[in-house]
Every structure is written in C-alpha cells, then in structure tokens.
Amino acid sequence: MLKFIFHRLLQLVPVLVVVITVTFLMAKKAPGGPFSAERKASPQVIERQNAYYGYDKPLPVQYFRYLANLAKGQLGPSTTYPTETVNQVIARSFPVSLQVGTLAMAIALAFGVPAGVLAAVRKNTLLDYLPMSFAMSGICLPTFVMGPVLAIIFGLWLHWGNVAGIDQAENTWLPPIFLPALTLGLFYGAYVARLTRGGMLEVLTQDFIRTAQAKGVNSLRIILKHTLKGGLMPVVSFLGPAFAGLISGSFVVEKVFNLPGLGKEFIKAAFNRDYSLILGTVVFYAVLIVVFNLLVDVIHALLDPRIRH
C-alpha cells in the first residue's frame, strides 16, 4: 500500500512540471501585461514596476527563479493585491471555496446514493422512474441556470438566505454558503444517483446475491451489507472527476452568488495578467487534484483488493 502511494506521489512531479511550464509560457507569451491599464502609465513607471517584480529578466531566468521559490513554498507577490502575497490570497479565499465544495459533495452523496439505491431496488417501477427523471433534469439544468433560479426563490422571494455575497450578510437563517453548495450539490447528486443505480443493478444480478436471497437473508441486509460495497464502486471512481468539476463549478457559483472564493480570484487574475497569482492558483489546483485522485485510488484499493495487485 505504501509503495502504491509512493508511486502515485512520484507521478505528481511530471504533472507539476508540465502544468507550471505550460501555464508559465502561456501567461508570458500572451499580449498585455499586469501593468497595461486603460489609463496609460508613463513608460518609466511601467519599467520600474517590471523591474521591481523581476519581469524584465530573460524568460529562463524568471522561470528558474520561480521554480526555486516554489520549492521553498513561496508563490510570489501578487500584482492585483500589492499588499498581499499569493500565499496570503490563497489562504484567505480558498477556505470559502473549500466549505462550499465540501458541503456540495455532502449534499450530492446524501441525495444521490439513496435515490440510486431506491431506483435500482425498485427497478422499472414509479420509484425508479421518478428519481431517475429528477436525476436527468439535474444533469440537464446546469449550475449557471440552477444558481440564479435558487437565488431568486430562496433569496429574493422567501428571504431564507442572502445572495449578495458574504460581505453583505443579512441575518438570514441559511448560511451564505448553503445556496451555492446546493446548486453544485444537486448537479453532482444527479450523476451520483445514476452511477449508483447502474452499479447496484450490476451487483444485484450476480450469483452471490441470489444465494443470499435463497438463504433467506432479509432484503435490507442484502442491500446494505452485500450490494452497497460493490455497487458504490462507480461512485468512488467518479469522485475524482467530480472534484475537478467542483473546482470549475466554483467559478460559476462564486460568480452567481458573489462569493470571495479562490475561483473568483483565479478568473480575476487571468483577466488582470497577474502572473504569479495565475501560476500560484493553477499549481495549487493541480496539487489538490492529484492528491485527491490519490485519495480516491487509496479508497478504491481498500474497497477492492484486486486493484492493489
């Protein structure tokens, strides 16, 4: 198991090198720079600013200097927020995204798994069609449609939650991250439900289930003890892509609900050509995704001994 984890961690290195190099080249080669504004500053000012941030050095020098700093865990200064380093920007904004993402994942599993199990057990009855139609609608109503609709219903009509962002928090009984999390959670819950149903159906038709039924094991126990472990395999595999999806989903919901999360900072940084903030965010996301995929693989290996070998 340790060897498995070690191998996967080694894989992190080429991924990061590719990600950093591609992002670095893309950002530097793009037209425009962090100091090109609509009101043109004098060339001397821009020159001095570039010199201050080290953007006047040749590209390879900048590249290796960045790698050296990265090795020390420093992501460099931000040009959008002159008083903060990139580390500070991430430390301030990521907790918001993390809370929304975690709650969204919890909502997705809490809705998706029971719905999928129910549909599989009561296959081709109303209890199958009804949740599965809901799941299909969930997939076809993307977050940027669901978000504004939920904002209108719960925020403006019912006044249960606030939709103007955390800063303008009124005293509403829903926490400000709930509606964004619900928006994302319903979307991924739909996928989880479909995957659960598929996985459960596959296991339910196998011989050992029939044996258990023949032995007279009660059906609740069959589902919980014998089927669920195998049936949830597709859901576990989906968690990796779902996590990456939650990150890009956070770009959308943070825009819709005006949340000061990392996704919003990333989009802003890209528009502002804030080189070190772009690079820092992308590297951070890449590490996060690789580590999460590793976790998923470990869970997989724990559930299914065949994978370990």
Partner 1 sequence: MTADAPEITSVAIPPSLDEAQKGTSLWKDAWRRLRRNKLAIIGLINFVLITLFCLIGPYFVPYQSGEQARSLQSCRPMEPIYARIQERKGKIVRTDFIPESKILDENAFITVSKEQRDAGLAQLKRGEPLKAGRYTYQISARKHLLGTDALGRDLLVRMMHGGRISIGVGLAATAVSILIGVVYGAVSGYLGGNLDIVMMRIVDILYTIPFTIFVILLMVFLPPSIFLLFMAIGAVEWLTMARIVRGEISALKHREFVEAAVSLGLGRLHIIFRHLIPNVLGSVIVYSTLTVPQVMLLEAVLSFLGLGVQPPMSSWGVLIDDGAKTIETTPWLLLFPAAIFSLTLFSLNFLGDGLRDALDPKSSKD
Q: Which residues bind partner 1 (CB under 8 A)?
A: 11, 14-15, 18-19, 22-23, 26-27, 29-31, 123-124, 136-137, 139-142, 144-145, 147-149, 151-152, 156, 197-198, 201-202, 244, 247-248, 251-252, 255-256, 266-267, 270-271, 278, 282, 285-286, 289-290, 293
Contact, 151 vs 165, CB < 8 A?
A: no
Closer to partner 1 at the Cβ: 130 or 139? 139
- Cβ 3 to partner 1 shortest distance, Å: 18
Closer to partner 1 at the Cβ: 151 or 259? 151
- Cβ 71 to partner 1 shortest distance, Å: 20
Closer to partner 1 at the Cβ: 45 or 156? 156
Closer to partner 1 at the Cβ: 178 or 285? 285
- Cβ 140 to partner 1 shortest distance, Å: 4
Structure tokens at 88: 């500070």
Closer to partner 1 at the Cβ: 136 or 303? 136
- Cβ 114 to partner 1 shortest distance, Å: 18
Task: Provide the 10 A C-beta neighbour count for residue 296.
Answer: 18
- Cβ 303 to partner 1 shortest distance, Å: 20
* C-alpha–C-alpha distance, residues 229 and 37, integer Å: 57
- Tell me the residue type at 228: L
* C-alpha–C-alpha distance, residues 159 and 154, integer Å: 6
